[in-house]
């Protein structure tokens, strides 16, 4: 019987031992060459036979940069939408590539603060191209006077642009609106005369509650509301939350008026993603909207679908929100662009900086972004024009991601960059170039972006404050005329007690420090200097 | 009217009508997502984007399917996922049997304690990052084994199988032992032949679990060749949702996958399991019953 018991145990033991046979650490062969591991976004758009990590251009990089420097560049794909999860996982296990990219500012500052990132101050100082290439952008990746990462170079910083149905205006015999009042007249006419014969679904002014985020991501409303904000003192701008800015409430009141008159999207509060918004554009039910510059202006975006549904439709970029002082203030957007990080435990910190430095060479950047002349593009007035989009999608599908430090190519001046945009894309180029011009007037920053350190209390309470901000916007816009003040003031007060006050206090202290160190920009159209 | 038929009261008939209507409605709610995706996958992009499509295609096209079928990486993923599912299921089933059988016998010394230790893992998990660290330190990152070993034995499935084994009369076993069988022979010649329903059920549980999960692949796999179908699908769908962070300038380019192609991909990934499922469905029902009967 004892024997029997042993066999029975053996059966059980087999269940536990068998899986271990599958494990086994594959030893890494280390030769003379350094292996540099670089993360690249995998957007799942690789054509057959190639992948985001192995294609013509990763080979090209190894040929151009790798060979001469005796470095093997190995790419590691990161699914674009799981970037943060994956980075956290790899950082925690100290198994991250030598170069990582995130667009999430808090991820960057978190790791910088906790010692997860290499201090690059000295290495960057010694680079040939990279240091000057970024110019004053280094402030975006500086924490406690040390450089902990490499920003990306954003060419067009203006975030928002407005679009209106030109064909509707033409039918009504109206000009393209240049002021808030003219816009109101146009929208009112859209509502009353329905020039597109839309009927019930007509939405003169599109809005989705998705856009209400406290940290300046208010695609649909921020430009309008900010045109009501009165210029203030520098201290006010940098310390109080935006809902307390003089005039902010008037801006929201204006939205409330549009809502009550049926001009504003009536169902906006129910929308938690952009589906309905896009649908209204594509189906030709929308007269006007403000959103990210170039929003849905791609070859299969909502605008292209609108043109398929109605070939006579025409959207034009407009810039109607103007304040009393003739300014058209606009948000500069996420100023740092992406954040390129090198983990502190990386064994190839120097090689990593060298790689980025190599990339900062203009010729390298130009070729990497545009491909080869006469194969991928031909030059027109010195600007590249795509020859065949299909061909490019097959042969250089992720070059923009490989060109880590570039967020668009700089042709030397804003005008040149606009021109390049106009030429690059037949069809939509004109509208995109126009959007770029309109989005870049009178720019201002998110005040907290100008500080050289993150606001801890804000990071802590961000989710809570965000929610309260949303509630304030939605309830105020949908309020009746008589209730508006009490609702807005009540929620603004709640906002302050659940964390707004604490944030203000901390911002005051940080502002004082930054002001004394003289690091704040002096070109904000909303500050009385 | 047939005279032999029992005449049903008004109440009964009303009940049948109401009941049938309700059941049809419930069925429709379950079917609707499939019908919707199917309709979208055959509609024109403009119609889909304008929100006109719901039950049937508008602006019929088959371009989306052409795109999916021509995508070799989709086929590669499909084949890989099928192989993965089969290997995983066989391995899991074997280990589950090897674990459940001894634990179902009172003769096993310390069986209660072992059982308790195993049950603990059902309620307490190590957490994502420690698990990742373990997998990493075992050298499994970017290996097929990372998709098999961490979840190779499901405690719940094991307990269900153990419960079933327990319900097999001990006399059967004793008879075999008197004839000279050892434990392996008893398991192979006596237990398994009478346990076919539970084997089928558990196999199906494992197979469906493997087919549908993508989180482990997301964490442990960086090599696109080893992407299971669900991860591939997830990537396509997420890519379709335009990134609103403009600072990611690349997301403004034409990398967004049209909704029609997304829908076609969903159908592509769903059909294989849909084909298998109805044939095995009866075991699912049985499996639920087995779990409910205390041994």
Residues 394 through 433 of chain A touching chain B, CB cutoff 8 Å: 397, 400-401, 407-408
Q: Quick one: pLDDT at residue A6?
A: 61
What are the residues facing A41 on neighbouring strands? A78
**pLDDT at res. A8:** 63
Do residues A314 and A452 share a domain? yes
Q: Do A12 and B248 touch (CB under 8 A)?
A: no
Give, as one character, the DSSP assignment of residue A390.
H
Domain that includes residue A141, residue range: 34-151+336-409
Whether A243 is covered by a domain: the verdict is yes
User: Using the beta-carbon criterion (under 8 Å), do A44 and B236 form an inter-chain contact?
Assistant: yes
List Cβ neighbours of B147 (8 Å cut-off, separation of 6 or more): B84, B88, B210, B216, B217, B220, B221, B226, B228
Mutate to test the interface with B, among A10, A12, A424 (most CBs of B within 10 A): A12
HEC string for A201-215: HCEEECCCHHHCCCC
* Residue B295 pLDDT grade (very low, low, confident, very high; cuts 50, 70, 90): very low
Contacts 24+ apart (CB under 8 A), B242-245: B242/A274, B242/A295, B242/A296, B242/A301, B243/A80, B244/A217, B244/A219, B244/A274, B244/A292, B245/A103, B245/A334
How near does any CA of chain B get to the CA of A191, in Å? Answer: 20
B6-21: b (≥16 Cβ within 10 Å) or e: eeeeeeeeeeeeeeee
Q: What is the chain B residue with the closest CA to A425?
A: B253
Nearest-Cα residue of chain A relative to residue B223: A77
Chain B nearest C-alpha distance from A382 (Å): 22
First vs last Cα of chain B: how many Å apart?
50
- Say whether residue B87 is in contact with chain A using an 8 A CB cutoff: no
Residue A326 in any domain: the answer is: yes
A68 in B contact zone (CB under 8 Å): no
Q: What is the DSSP letter of A373?
A: B
Are residue A326 and residue A379 in the same domain, yes or no?
Answer: no
- What span, in angstroms and rounded, lies between the C-alpha atoms of A408 and A417? 9
Whether residue A23 and residue B138 make contact (CB cut-off 8 A), yes or no, is yes
Helix (H) or strand (E) holding A153: strand A153-154
| A261 shares a domain with A220 | yes
- Both A365 and A299 in one domain: the answer is no
What domains are there in chain B, each with its CATH number?
Answer: 1-61 (no CATH), 71-292 (1.10.3720.10)
In this complex, the residue of B184, B218, B254 whose CB is nearest that of residue A11 is B184
Q: Which of residues 173-232 of A touch B (CB under 8 A)?
A: 217, 219
Nearby residues of B81 by Cβ (< 8 Å), 6 or more positions away: B211, B228, B229, B230
Q: Which residues of chain B does A217 touch, with a Cβ-Cβ cutoff of 8 Å?
A: 244
Q: Please tell me which of the candidates B183, B234, B241 has its beta carbon nearest to residue A11.
A: B183
Cα–Cα dist A347/A36, whole Å:
9
**Between chain A and chain B, how many beta carbons pairs sit less than 8 Å apart?**
197
Strand A286-292, strand A160-165: pairing: antiparallel
Within a domain: A358:
yes
SS3 (DSSP) at B5: coil
- Number of structural domains, chain A? 2
> Å from B51 to nearest chain A CA?
6
Handedness of CA A511, A512, A514, A520 (dihedral sign): positive
Best of B247, B257, B260 to mutate (most A CBs within 10 Å, chain A): B247
Strand order in the sheet with A286-292: A203-205, A286-292, A160-165, A315-318
CA distance B135 to A295: 41
**What is each CA distance from B207 to A161, B90, B98, B203, B249, in whole angstroms?**
50, 9, 18, 6, 40
Of A76, A82, A334, the CB nearest to B218: A82
d(CA B17, CA B22): 9
Q: Do A80 and B222 touch (CB under 8 A)?
A: no
- Domain end among A409, A424, A455: A409
Put simply, the answer to whether A298 touches B132 (Cβ < 8 Å) is: no
List the structure tokens of A348.
């190839």
Which helix (H) or strand (E) segment holds residue A75: the answer is strand A71-79
Same-domain pairing of A56 and A174: no
Query: Which residue of B lies nearest to A311 if distances are taken between CA atoms?
Result: B46
Gap between the Cα atoms of A245 and A524, Å rounded? 15
- In terms of CA atoms, which chain A residue is nearest residue B240? A43
Pairwise CA distance, residues B188 & B184, whole Å: 6
Q: Are residues A302 and A448 in the same domain?
A: yes
Q: Is residue A14 part of a domain?
A: no
Q: Given A4, A18, A85, which is nearest B95 (Cβ)? A: A18
Q: Which of A409, A431, A456 is the last residue of a domain?
A: A409
Q: A463 to each of A460, A466, A470, how far by Cα in Å?
A: 8, 5, 11
**CA-CA distances (angstroms) from residue B23 to A396, B33, B41, B294?**
52, 17, 27, 31
Q: In this complex, which of B136, B231, B238 lies closest to A93 when CB atoms are compared? A: B136
Alpha helices in A425-498 (DSSP H): 429-439, 447-450, 456-477, 484-495
Verify that A42 and A122 share a domain, yes or no. Answer: yes
Nearest CB to B102; choose among A9, A217, A282: A9
- Do A320 and A450 belong together in one domain? yes
The phi and psi torsions of A294 (rounded to 5 degrees) equal: 70, 15
Chain A, residues 34-63, CB within 8 A of chain B, namely 41-46, 48-49, 51-53
Residue B50 has its nearest CB partner, among A16, A279, A301, at A279
What is the pLDDT at residue A165?
A: 97
Q: To the nearest 10°, report the CA torsion of B285, B229, B272, B62.
A: 140
Q: Does the distance separating the beta carbons of B257 and A45 come in below 8 Å?
A: yes
Q: Is A278 on the interface with B (CB under 8 A)?
A: yes
Q: Which residue in the block uniquely carries the two structure tokens 């007035």? A: A381
Q: Is A338 on the interface with B (CB under 8 A)?
A: yes
Nearest chain A residue to B94 by CA: give it: A15
Chain A residue nearest residue B105, CA to CA: A8
- Please report whether residue A528 resides in a domain: no
Residue pair A351/A98 in contact (Cβ under 8 Å)? The answer is: yes
Q: Which of B95, B145, B249 sits opposite A23 (nearest CB)?
A: B145
For chain A, 529 residues long, the average pLDDT of each consecutive 10-residue run is 56 56 43 87 79 92 94 90 86 90 87 93 92 88 90 87 96 95 96 93 94 85 95 95 95 97 94 88 95 84 90 95 93 81 95 95 92 91 85 86 89 90 83 92 89 85 92 96 96 96 95 90 89
β-strands A377-380, A383-386: how paired?
antiparallel
Q: Give the chain A residue nearest B250 (alpha carbons).
A: A400
Tell me the pairing of strands A71-79 and A330-331. unpaired
Q: Which residue has the tokens 């859209």?
A: A190
Asked if B45 has any chain A CB less than 8 Å from its own CB, the reply is yes
Are the beta carbons of A159 and B246 separated by less than 8 Å?
yes
Partner-chain contact B242 A45, CB within 8 Å: no
Q: Is B129 an interface residue toward A (CB < 8 Å)?
A: yes
Alpha helices by DSSP H, listed for A194-320, are 222-226, 234-239, 248-260, 275-282, 302-309
Residue A109 contacts by C-beta under 8 Å, 6 or more apart in sequence?
A143, A454, A459
Q: How far does the CA of residue A48 sit from the closest CA of chain B (Å)?
A: 6
Rg over CA atoms, chain B: 25
Residues of B in contact with A5 (CB under 8 A): 107-109
Let me know: does A104 contact A84? Beta carbons within 8 Å.
yes
Look up residue A292 and give its two tokens: 């990210």
- String of DSSP letters for B146-175: GGTGGGSS-HHHHHHHHHHHHHS-HHHHHH
Residue A39 falls inside a structural domain: yes
Answer yes or no: do A135 and A166 share one domain.
Answer: no
Beta partners for residue A341, in sequence order = A100, A149
Nearest to B256 among A4, A282, A298 (CB): A298
Best mutation target among A28, A43, A339 (most B Cβ atoms within 10 Å) is A43
| A47 & A143 share domain | yes
Question: Is there a contact between A365 and A409 (Cβ–Cβ < 8 Å)?
Answer: yes
DSSP string, A84-124: HHHHHHHHHTT---SBEEES-HHHHHHHHHTT-B---HHHH
Q: Is the pLDDT of residue B148 over 90?
A: yes
Does residue A456 share a domain with residue A361?
no
Q: Which CATH number belongs to the domain containing residue A488 in this structure?
A: 3.40.190.10
Q: Is residue A24 part of a domain?
A: no
A301 touches B: beta carbon within 8 Å: yes
Give B-chain residues touching A417 at CB under 8 angstroms: none
Q: Is residue A7 part of a domain?
A: no
pLDDT tens sequence across B77-121: 999 999 999 999 999 999 999 999 999 988 888 889 999 999 998
Residues 132-191, chain B: which have Cβ within 8 Å of A? 132-133, 136-141, 143, 145, 148-149, 152-153, 177, 182-184, 187
Residues 478-517 of chain A whose Cβ lies under 8 A from any Cβ of chain B:
none
Domain-ending residue, one of A393, A409, A425? A409
**Closest alpha carbon to B264 in B72, B38, B55:** B38
Residue A529's alpha-carbon distances to A223, A515, A520, B73, in angstroms, are 22, 13, 12, 59
How far does the CA of residue B219 sit from the closest CA of chain A (Å)? 7
Contact A498, A465 (CB under 8 A): yes
Q: Burial of B284 by CB count in 10 Å (0-12 exposed, 13-18 middle, 19+ buried)?
A: middle
- A4 token code pair: 């029997």
Alpha helices for A114-207 (secondary structure H) = 121-125, 130-134, 166-172, 180-193
Residues of A in contact with B153 (CB under 8 A): 15, 19
Backbone angles phi, psi at A3, to 5 degrees: -55, -45
Compute CA A377 distance to the chain's CA centroid, rounded to the nearest angstrom. 27
Q: What is the DSSP letter of A52?
A: S
- Are A216 and A353 part of one and the same domain? no
State how far residue A492 is from chain B, nearest Cα, in angstroms: 27
- The DSSP secondary-structure symbol of A174 reads P
Q: How far is B266 from chain A (nearest CA, A)?
A: 15
């Amino acid at each position: 019987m004892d024997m029997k018991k042993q066999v029975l145990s053996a059966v059980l033991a087999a269940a536990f031992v068998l899986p271990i046979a599958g494990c086994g650490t594959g030893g890494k062969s280390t030769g003379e060459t350094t292996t540099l591991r670089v993360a690249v976004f995998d957007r799942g758009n690789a054509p057959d036979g190639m992948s985001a990590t192995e294609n013509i251009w990763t080979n090209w990089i190894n040929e151009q940069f790798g060979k001469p420097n005796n470095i093997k560049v190995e790419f590691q794909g990161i699914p674009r939408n799981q970037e943060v999860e994956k980075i956290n996982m790899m950082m925690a296990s100290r198994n991250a590539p030598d170069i990582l990219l995130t667009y999430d500012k808090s991820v960057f500052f978190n790791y910088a603060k906790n010692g997860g990132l290499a201090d690059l101050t000295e290495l960057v100082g010694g680079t040939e191209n990279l240091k000057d290439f970024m110019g004053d952008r280094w402030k975006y990746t500086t924490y406690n006077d040390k450089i902990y990462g490499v920003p990306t170079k954003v060419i067009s910083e203006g975030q928002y642009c407005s679009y209106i149905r030109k064909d509707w205006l033409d039918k009504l015999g109206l000009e393209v609106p240049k002021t808030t009042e003219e816009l109101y007249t146009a929208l009112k006419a859209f509502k009353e005369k329905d020039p597109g014969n839309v009927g019930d679904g007509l939405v003169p002014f599109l809005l989705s509650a998705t856009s209400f985020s406290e940290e300046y991501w208010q695609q649909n409303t921020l430009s309008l509301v900010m045109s009501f904000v009165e210029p203030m003192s520098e201290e006010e701008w940098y310390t109080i939350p935006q809902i307390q800015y003089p005039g902010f409430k008037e801006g929201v009141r204006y939205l409330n008026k549009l809502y009550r008159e049926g001009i504003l999207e009536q169902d906006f509060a129910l929308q938690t993603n952009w589906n309905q918004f896009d649908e209204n554009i594509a189906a030709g039910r929308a007269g006007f909207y403000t959103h990210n510059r170039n929003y849905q202006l791609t070859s299969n975006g909502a605008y292209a679908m609108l043109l398929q549904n109605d070939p006579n439709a025409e959207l034009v970029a407009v810039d109607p929100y103007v304040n009393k002082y003739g300014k058209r203030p606009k948000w500069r957007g996420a100023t740092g662009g992406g954040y390129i990080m090198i983990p502190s435990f990386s064994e190839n910190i120097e090689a990593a900086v060298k790689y980025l430095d190599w990339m900062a060479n203009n010729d390298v950047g130009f070729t990497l972004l545009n491909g080869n002349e006469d194969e991928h593009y031909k030059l027109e007035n010195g600007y590249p024009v795509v020859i065949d989009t299909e061909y490019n999608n097959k042969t250089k599908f992720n070059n923009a991601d490989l060109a880590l430090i570039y967020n668009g190519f700089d042709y030397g001046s804003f005008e040149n960059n606009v021109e390049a945009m106009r030429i690059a894309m037949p069809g939509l180029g004109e509208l995109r170039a126009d959007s770029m011009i309109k989005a870049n007037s009178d720019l201002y920053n998110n005040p907290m972006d100008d500080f050289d350190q993150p606001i801890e209390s804000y990071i802590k309470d961000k989710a809570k404050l965000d929610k309260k901000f949303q509630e304030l916007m939605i309830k105020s816009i949908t309020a009746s005329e008589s209730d508006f003040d009490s609702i807005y003031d009540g929620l603004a007060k709640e906002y302050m007690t659940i964390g707004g006050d604490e944030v203000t206090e901390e911002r005051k202290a940080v502002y004082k420090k930054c002001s004394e160190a003289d690091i704040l920009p002096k070109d904000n159209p909303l500050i009385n200097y | 009217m047939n005279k032999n038929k029992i005449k049903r009261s008004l109440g009964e008939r009303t009940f049948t009508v109401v009941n049938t209507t309700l059941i049809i409605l419930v069925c429709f709610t379950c079917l609707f997502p499939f019908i919707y995706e199917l309709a979208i996958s055959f509609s024109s992009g403009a119609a889909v984007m304008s929100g006109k499509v719901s039950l049937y295609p508008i602006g019929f096209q088959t371009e989306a399917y052409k795109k999916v079928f021509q995508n070799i990486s989709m086929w590669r993923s499909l084949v890989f996922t099928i192989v993965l599912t089969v290997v995983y299921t066989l391995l899991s089933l074997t280990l589950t049997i090897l674990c459940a059988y001894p634990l179902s016998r009172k003769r096993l010394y310390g069986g209660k304690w072992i059982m308790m230790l195993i049950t603990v893992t059902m309620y307490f998990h190590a957490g994502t990052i420690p698990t990742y660290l373990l997998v990493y330190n075992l050298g499994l990152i970017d290996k097929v084994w990372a998709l098999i070993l961490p979840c190779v034995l499901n405690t719940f499935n094991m307990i269900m199988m153990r419960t079933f084994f327990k319900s097999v009369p001990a006399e059967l076993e004793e008879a075999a032992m008197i004839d000279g069988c050892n434990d392996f022979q008893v398991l192979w010649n006596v237990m398994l032949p009478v346990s076919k329903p539970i084997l089928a059920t558990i196999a199906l549980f494992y197979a469906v679990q493997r087919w549908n999960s993508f989180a482990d692949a997301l964490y442990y796999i960086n090599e696109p060749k080893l992407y299971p179908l669900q991860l591939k699908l997830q990537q396509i769908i997420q890519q379709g949702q335009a990134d609103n962070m403009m600072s990611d300038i690349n997301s403004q380019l034409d990398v967004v996958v049209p909704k029609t192609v997304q829908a076609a991909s969903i159908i592509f990934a769903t059909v294989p399991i849909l084909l298998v499922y109805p044939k095995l469905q009866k075991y699912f029902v049985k499996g639920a019953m087995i779990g409910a009967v205390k041994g």
